[in-house]
Amino acid sequence: MTSTLVVGASRGLGRGFVERLLTRGDQVIATTRNEADADVLHTIASSLGANNRLETLSCDVAIADSRSALAEALDGRAIHTLIHNAGIYGPKGICMGELPETDWKRVLHVNTIAPILTAQALLPQLRAGATKGGAKVAFLTSLMGSITDNSSGGSYLYRSAKAGLNAAARSLAIDLAPDEISVLLLHPGWVQTDMGGIAAPLEIGESVAGMLARIDNLSLSDSGSFVNWSGKSLPW
Ligand SMILES: NC(=O)c1ccc[n+]([C@@H]2O[C@H](COP(=O)([O-])OP(=O)(O)OC[C@H]3O[C@@H](n4cnc5c(N)ncnc54)[C@H](OP(=O)(O)O)[C@@H]3O)[C@@H](O)[C@H]2O)c1
Asked if the structure places residue 73 within a domain, the reply is: yes
Q: pLDDT tens, 76-107?
A: 999 999 999 999 999 999 999 999 999 999 99
Looking at residue 2, what is its pLDDT? 74
Give pLDDT, residue 70: 98
Does a structural domain hold residue 48?
A: yes
Task: Give the pLDDT of residue 30.
Answer: 98
Pocket test for ligand 1, best of 5, 7, 10 (most atoms within 8 A of CB): 10
pLDDT tens digits for range 208-221:
999 999 999 999 99
**CATH number of the domain where residue 128 is located:** 3.40.50.720
Q: Is residue 210 part of a domain?
A: yes
Protein residue whose Cα sits closest to atom 35 of ligand 1: 86
Tell me, yes or no, whether 233 lies in a domain.
no
Residue 217: the pLDDT is 97
Contact 140, 210 (CB under 8 A): no
Can you give the three-state secondary structure of 91-102, one letter per residue?
CCCCCCCCCCHH
Pocket of ligand 1 (CB under 6 A): 8, 10-14, 33, 59-62, 85-88, 110, 140, 142, 187-188, 190-191, 193-196, 200
Cα 127 to Cα 65, 167, 173, 186: the distances in Å are 22, 22, 14, 22
Ligand 1 atom closest to the CA of 12, numbered from 1:
16
- How far is the first Cα of the chain from the last one, in angstroms, to the nearest whole number? 35
Least Cα distance to 122 among 107, 101, 137 occurs for: 137
Rounded to whole angstroms, the Cα distance separating 222 from 87 reads 24
Question: 52 lies in a domain?
Answer: yes
**How close is the Cα of 13 to the center of ligand 1, in Å?**
7
Task: Classify residue 190 by its DSSP letter.
Answer: S
Evaluate whether residue 236 is within a structural domain: no
Q: Mark the ranges of the chain whose per-residue pLDDT is less than 50.
A: none
What pLDDT is stored for residue 1 in this prediction?
61
DSSP H/E element including 28: strand 27-32
The domain total for the chain is 1
Query: Measured in angstroms, how far is the CA atom of residue 60 from the centroid of ligand 1?
Result: 12
Closest protein CA for atom 13 of ligand 1: 13
Contact 8, 17 (CB under 8 A): no
